[in-house]
Every structure is written in structure tokens, then in C-alpha cells.
Amino acid sequence: MLLHVPEVFTQDEVALLRETLDAGPWSDGNATSGHQSALAKRNMQLPETCPEALEIGLVIRQALEANPMFVAAALPHTIYPPLFNRYEGGQAFGTHVDNAIRQQRGGPLRIRSDLSATLFLSDPDDYDGGELTIQDTYGEQSVKLPAGDLVLYPSRSLHRVTPVTRGARVCAFFWLQSLVRDDAARETLFQLDVATQRVSLDKGPADQAVVELTGVYHNLLRRWAEV
């Protein structure tokens, strides 16, 4: 499932985040690449342990944990600390798939990458190109979102970033291990959650149908979750 999560941050909040990030020590993005990715990747990146990345990464994780749509869709077990990349001057990232296991450099954190996320931190009018193109069961999906919006998609998907030919594209990106490993099961739970909320708005949270649907949701989650 490919999901657009709107307004994780407002425009004013993005501007404040960018003030900190733009002052950071940007360097070659291949510092965090695997072998396959290094052959296709041309961008700049903040070192994952630099103060700017750690500070803004924490802000992003706190915002995501408080975002109902993100939590319902991702069912996060562990969120990898966000990283930050910048594309300009024709830089791009060729077609690749994300590593199945992400190990934090110099730290104990290790996760299975079930979902990948990109949080856009540049206004789409500020740069040309830079579309995130994701291959899923419905073909290629081209994603270029407003600053502050996020796209969530399965880490198993082939994807690429097209060349940025004008301006600069700045994003946060990260992976997460979900409580529910299987993509189809996770999508079913999300659809059931959304439908239950709609019935609740129409009939009230104490309605018998809402109570029964909530029970079905939690029984499926109990069956599929890995904690």
C-alpha cells in the first residue's frame, strides 16, 4: 500500500526545520549506501550522527507518533532515526530496493525494514524533477508532495528519484519495522480501522456495530502482530 500522509508539518514548521538542516555538514550520500545502492545513488546527505540530524530526527519521530493516520497505516514497532538527503544539479537515485535489515551505525538498533517513508521538506515549485517513482501492483506511481507531507510505501518496492534539474530537493527518509510484517494484512487492518471510524462518526462510538467491528480489528491484530 502506498499512502500519502498530509501535513505532518505545517509550512511554518517546515521553514524552522530547514533552518537547522540547511546549516548542517552535508556530504556524499553514499556514506549510508549498500553495494547496489552505491552504484545508483548521487546525492548529498547529513551524517546520521550529526547534531542537526539527531535534533530534527527526534522532532519528526515525535510528530509521527502523534499522527493518527500514520500510526493506523504503519502500526509502527520501531522507527529508524530519520536521515536527510539533498538532490540538486542533476543528482538522482537510480532504481533500487531498500536493504531488508537496517543497522544503526555505531549503535545497537537493528530493524527489519517493512515500510519506507519520505517526508518532503522542499516546496515542489522550488525544484524541477526529483519525483519519487515507486513500482507497485498498479504500475509506477510518481510522487512529488508539498513540503510537510509524507509518503509511506512497502520497503520491498523498487523505486527511484528522478534527476533534479533546477533548485534543490530536501527530504527526510527512514524505514520502520511494523507490528504487522505482512503488507496485505497491514492494509486490511488499516481499511478496517478507517471503516470503523466512519461508522463511529455516523452512529456514535457506543453503537453495537462499532463495538463489533472494533473487536474484529483487535482480534485480527492479535493474530497478526509480532511484538
- pLDDT tens digit string along 189-208? 999 999 999 999 999 999 99
Q: Within this chain, do residues 106 and 86 fall inside the same structural domain, yes or no?
A: yes
Q: Within this chain, do residues 124 and 207 fall inside the same structural domain, yes or no?
A: no
Q: Within this chain, do residues 70 and 86 fall inside the same structural domain, yes or no?
A: yes
What kind and span of H or E run contains 64? helix 51-65
Give the Å distances, CA to CA, from 17 to 11, 117, 152.
Answer: 10, 18, 20
| Reported pTM | 0.93
pLDDT at 34: 55
CATH number at residue 122: 2.60.120.620
Residue ranges making up the domain that contains 99: 3-178
pLDDT at 180: 98
Phi, psi of 202 (to 5 degrees): -80, -40
Residues of the chain under the 50 pLDDT cut: none
pLDDT at 118: 98
CATH number at residue 208: 4.10.860
Q: Within this chain, do residues 164 and 198 fall inside the same structural domain, yes or no?
A: no
- pLDDT tens digit string along 132-169? 999 988 789 999 999 999 999 999 999 999 999 999 99
Sorted by sequence, the CB contacts under 8 Å of residue 86 that are 6+ apart come out as: 26, 43, 44, 45, 168, 169, 170
Q: Within this chain, do residues 187 and 162 fall inside the same structural domain, yes or no?
A: no
Question: Distance between CA 172 and CA 221 in Å, rounded?
Answer: 29
Q: Within this chain, do residues 86 and 144 fall inside the same structural domain, yes or no?
A: yes
Q: Within this chain, do residues 129 and 215 fall inside the same structural domain, yes or no?
A: no
Question: Distance between CA 121 and CA 13 in Å, rounded?
Answer: 10
Closest CA to 126 of 46, 28, 15: 15
Q: Within this chain, do residues 144 and 205 fall inside the same structural domain, yes or no?
A: no
Q: Within this chain, do residues 108 and 202 fall inside the same structural domain, yes or no?
A: no
pLDDT at 21: 98
pLDDT at 59: 98
Q: How many domains does the chain have?
A: 2
